[in-house]
Amino acid sequence: MRLVRLYDMKVLSPVVMDNISLDFCRRSKAAAVGFTVVFAILLLKPISTSPEFLLLDRVAASLAIICSTTRLFLAVKISRGGLETMYRWANLHSLVIVISTTCMGILCTLGFWDPQNPDSKIFVTSFIVSAIMAGSATSLALKPRISIYFLVMVGIVPGMFLAFSTHQGDLPYGVWTIFVFTFVVYVYGNSREFYHSMVTRYETEEALNIEKQNLTSAIQQLKTTQDELLNQKSRAEYSAKLASLGEMAGGIAHEINTPLNVILLSAEQQLEILEEEIIDKDLMKESIQKVQSTTNRIAAIVRGLRTFARDGTKDPMEPTSLQMLIDNTMSLCYEKFKLNNVDLRLPPPTDLVINCRSVQISQVLLNLLNNSFEAIREQPVKWIEIGLQDLGEQVEIRITDSGLGIQPEIQAEIFRPFYTTKEIGKGTGLGLSISRGLIEAHHGQLFVDSERPNTCFVIRLPK
């Protein structure tokens, strides 16, 4: 950190100081051109009249031209090269400004001090002093030390020589001196205000850049967190589906095992019929038809399992028979309910059609049926009822079981991800959360009907 001890005692950050220094070099270009022109005129038209002052006058003017030209070259070079070039040439740039300022101070002092100078040259010198100070108020203000040195060398020192000079002209030299000092104070005040305004500007820009960087970093961190959450959600949903498949595995074994036993018994019966001398065609036909229907039953189970296991997120929304959805879902759990003495109450056949992704709706129905089964499997009275109702623009599906309802405090949490009332290791807490998400993706609703005496989940879907 660097201290600015002129103008104020404020501590500025390196970034602000660098910006001020770079701006100082950029503004130096126009001032260097003006100084070069002034010094060239003073070289051709010396401001001194006395022969003993002329040599010093020309040397100062010549050196000032060289320094101003060098200043212009360095200012252009730094403006084009930026901070890296400024770090390399900033000291030399400041040095040539100090030298040219010293030369200007010498020339103005000679103009005021030379006793042979007429009032016209005194007036011209005063004009040069005021014009140069006014023109340099902003170009040098960003370097307080150089600015103070400039005002002292170009304003105060020549003014003091004017106050003690011996001229025979008619100008009020005392009043003129007061005018010069007053103008120095005025220029100093303007330079100070300009410096403060530029400092405020660059501090504001730095604060805005910092806030922008912080905001960009926060946005990037938020995007990273969002991506991580999406990945975790995908993994959790996948784990939940695997858990559901695992829960179904035992049930599927029963679902397929019973039809296979029917097929085996029918095959044995057909062999016995074929061994008899007189074949009972009616009995044979009945046995074959039983094998046919049982095989269709197994095919339905496999079809339903494939439907549930497949990812349907990219499937198009298309008209689907609600009866087919129920049949496919029931093929995966009917036998499990039967073996556990669950009274399954199905709706009468329906011709209702909804616009949906059939895979996802089947997954939701199966999840709700499995939840009902787990909730009532240890109860003395076990039944699950599926109800359908046409609401006009919507279709309502109700899954009610013999449970005694869900407590209000649990209803408020039941659809929250990872919330579960099951024992550890028996539930992920994602089934209902994912199910609600799938239904809402269909512009529908999934909620608990708390007015029913039994546990009742309601699905409402647009047609």
Q: How confident is the model over 346-361, as pLDDT tens digits? A: 999 888 999 988 888 8
pLDDT value of residue 6: 46
Low-confidence residues of the chain, pLDDT below 50?
1-6, 9, 423-430
pLDDT value of residue 244: 56
With b for 16 or more beta-carbon neighbours within 10 A and e for fewer, the 305-325 pattern comes to bebbeeebeeeeeeebebbeb
pLDDT value of residue 292: 81
pLDDT value of residue 238: 61
Question: Around Cβ 250, how many Cβ atoms within 10 Å?
Answer: 10
pLDDT value of residue 415: 75
pLDDT value of residue 198: 86
For the whole model, what pTM was predicted? 0.50
* d(C-alpha 317, C-alpha 217), whole Å: 39
Q: At what angle do helices 119-139 and 14-44 cross, to 10 degrees?
A: 160
Instruction: Report residue 168 as tokens.
Output: 């025979």
pLDDT value of residue 458: 94
Q: Give me the DSSP letters along 219-270.
A: HHHHHHHHHHHHHHHHHHHHHHHHHHHHHHHHHHHHHHHHHHHHHHHHHHHH
